[in-house]
Structure 1
Amino acid sequence: MTMRIGVVTFPGSLDDGDAARAVRLAGAEAVRLWHGDADLHGVDAVVLPGGFSYGDALRCGAIARFAPVMETVADAARGGLPVLGICNGFQILCEAHLLPGALTRNQHLHFRNRDQHLRIGSTSTAWTGQFTADQEILIPVKNGEGCFVADARTLDELAAEGRVVARYVRGNPNGSQRDIAAITNEAGNVVGIMPHPEHAVEALTGPSLDGLGFFASVLHTLAGAPASSR
């Protein structure tokens, strides 16, 4: 059975098409979901893509968290649905309190767009099971407000509980605390990542094929899950 991965489009989304292509290249069916539609159409997982949802009004992700689709996504995520938030999607997950912390303006106050090395810290999430611990990957980063911040207690808990999914290595592009590039919730089904795995899925356009690992991982996770849990 072909898995169906939903990709949400908000007003201002830029990378929804790229995310849908990554889903297809991984071997799943990409299902386009509209921000104003609360129906997830029976998808097995959801991707919240990068971009500038609602023009980043107020702050990044602050309005998108109240979109009808996000009410359903949040409920489904709490029930175990795998959800991946990329860049703006990560910001939305934090605003929706599905992940702790916040993404703020890059410390150097400049937009940063470059290929970035990451080190995988957790392989126990729905989106990283096909990687190996401490594996180094290369995927693009492009953000102006990608600096992950949280209070010291939260940062300590993320580290102690193995919930730091990836850290920046060979340079921190935005000043994120403790070089954090991606985190997960306690259950491991929700992951937020600031760099863009969907832009590293083809040799012609990406710096590597490393991004495919995230999409392949969730398919492997879903294949091993009983139908009643999806």
Structure 2
Amino acid sequence: MTARVGVVTFPGSLDDRDAARAVRIAGAEPVALWHDDADLKGVDAVVLPGGFSYGDYLRCGAIARFAPIMTELVPAAASGNLPVLGICNGFQILCESHLLPGALTRNRSLHFINRDQVLRIEAAGTAWTNRYTPGQEILVVLKSGEGNYVADPATLDELEATGRIVARYAGAAPNGSQRDIAGVANEHGNVVGLMPHPEHAVEALTGPSTDGLGFFTSLLAHLAEGSPLAGAPTG
């Protein structure tokens, strides 16, 4: 059966159609999910796309965490059963929902960044990165004003020790992210937050590369294998 991947649209989402296109190119069926509906429609995985949910009022993702769709998503993701990828604003929502540690703050330069960006994959044992190899460098798109990842030293040390830093910026982080962190995973490896945009690098015609497609084909490989992910980021 074809995997069904939900893509959530919040008021202010910008990249929901791009995420759905990436899901389709990877070989899955994208399923439109609305922020105001608490039903996940039985999807196999969920993508929280980039944009400016609820206008980024209060803090980025702070209002979206209370959307009805999150009432079913949060416990399913926290249990390790539902793979969830949060991209850019989606990453911010995952942090605000306490599915991932840390927070995303204003870029150190205080300027919006829009550029092609090289990432280094650090953890290849998650539901969203198993088609990559540790140390592999990929070219995707970075576009954000609040992409500066911060956490307390103890949290950063724990992420390092447990292999939950999914990707780093190659070279110095352009937004000032601590330890050059571009993405992190939860302890089960089913939830991944990524500040850059892999969905904008799935076709040679429209992106800087096709390197981002691996996030979506990794999901399909994980679903096909049906294997548990507990402890996977450490591998």
Q: CA deviation at 1:193?
A: 0.1
Partner in structure 2 of residue 107 of structure 1: 108
User: Do structure 1's residue 213 and structure 2's residue 214 form an aligned pair?
Assistant: yes
Most deviating of 69-78 and 6-15: 69-78
Partner in structure 2 of residue 75 of structure 1: 75
**Counterpart residue type for residue 78 of structure 1:** A
Partner in structure 2 of residue 185 of structure 1: 186
Matches of 1:22 and 1:169 in 2, distance apart? Answer: 24
Work out the number of aligned pairs and report it: 226
**Counterpart residue type for residue 31 of structure 1:** V
Q: CA deviation at 1:171?
A: 3.6
Q: Note the residue ranges of structure 2 that are not aligned, 5 or more in a row.
A: 228-235
Q: CA deviation at 1:76?
A: 1.1
SS at match of 1:17: helix
1:3-39 CA-to-partner distances (Å, cap 9, x unmatched) read 0000000000000000000000000000000000000
Q: Note the residue ranges of structure 1 that are not aligned, 5 or more in a row.
A: none
Q: CA deviation at 1:173?
A: 1.5
Partner in structure 2 of residue 40 of structure 1: 40
**Counterpart residue type for residue 141 of structure 1:** L
Matches of 2:132 and 2:210 in 1, distance apart? Answer: 12
Matches of 1:150 and 1:69 in 2, distance apart? Answer: 27
| TM-score, with length taken from structure 2 | 0.95
Matches of 1:56 and 1:108 in 2, distance apart? Answer: 19
Alignment of 1:13-52 (within 5 A): 13-52=13-52
Partner in structure 1 of residue 140 of structure 2: 139
Matches of 1:49 and 1:4 in 2, distance apart? Answer: 16
Q: CA deviation at 1:170?
A: 3.1
**Counterpart residue type for residue 30 of structure 1:** P
Partner in structure 1 of residue 7 of structure 2: 7
Q: CA deviation at 1:159?
A: 0.4
Matches of 2:94 and 2:40 in 1, distance apart? Answer: 17
Q: CA RMSD in A?
A: 0.7
SS at match of 2:69: helix
Question: What is the identity percentage for the equivalent residue pairs of Structure 1 and Structure 2?
Answer: 73
Matches of 2:78 and 2:114 in 1, distance apart? Answer: 33
| TM-score, with length taken from structure 1 | 0.97
User: Do structure 1's residue 197 and structure 2's residue 195 form an aligned pair?
Assistant: no
User: Do structure 1's residue 58 and structure 2's residue 35 form an aligned pair?
Assistant: no
